[in-house]
Structures are given as C-alpha cells and as structure tokens.
Amino acid sequence: MPIFEYKCNACGNEFEELVFDRDECPTCPKCKSTDTGKLMSAVRSKVGGFRPDAGGDSAPAKPSAPSSGCAGCSGGNCSSCG
C-alpha cells in the first residue's frame, strides 16, 4: 500500500495519503473536497554500497583514529606517549 501525494483543486492544499486503490482520489483533509488529483513524486533510492564508478555520491567518510596529542603515533599506544 503506497503513500501518494495529492493536491486539492478547490483549496490548493497538498497532502499525502495511504491508498488501497491506485485510482482512488481521497478527499482533502483541509476542506473536505473530493476534487483532488495525484501529484508526481520525486523518488530517489540507493541500493547497496558505494561504487566509485557510479558517480554522484561521494565515498562514505572514514572514521578517524583517536587523537592522543602525540606526534610520534596516531593511536596513543607507543612508548613516546605519556
């Protein structure tokens, strides 16, 4: 059961409605008019992970290593950290 976007032709109200029948045009929740029409909705979906050759989206950010303030290493586990 998809959610569709509608616009009321009587008052201009735009609303979303869960419908059971694709051809059904529900009444406007604002003015109760039955003169409503389905709007075209923009859809974007992403399936799977990052593909560098797909373009558009950038790679997910890599988590940074914890900073210890030590110039000798990046993990804070070396003998010079203290």
pLDDT in tens, 33-61: 999 999 987 766 677 766 667 665 555 55
Q: Which pLDDT band holds residue 14 (cuts at 50, 70, 90)?
A: very high
Structure tokens at 52: 């560098």
Structure tokens at 77: 């586990």
Question: In one letter, which amino acid is 5?
Answer: E
Is 25 in contact with 36 (CB distance < 8 Å)? yes
pTM recorded for the entire structure: 0.48
Q: Output DSSP code: residue 46.
A: -
Is 73 in contact with 80 (CB distance < 8 Å)? yes
C-alpha 14/C-alpha 25 separation (Å) is: 13
Identify the residue with better confidence: 59 or 27: 27
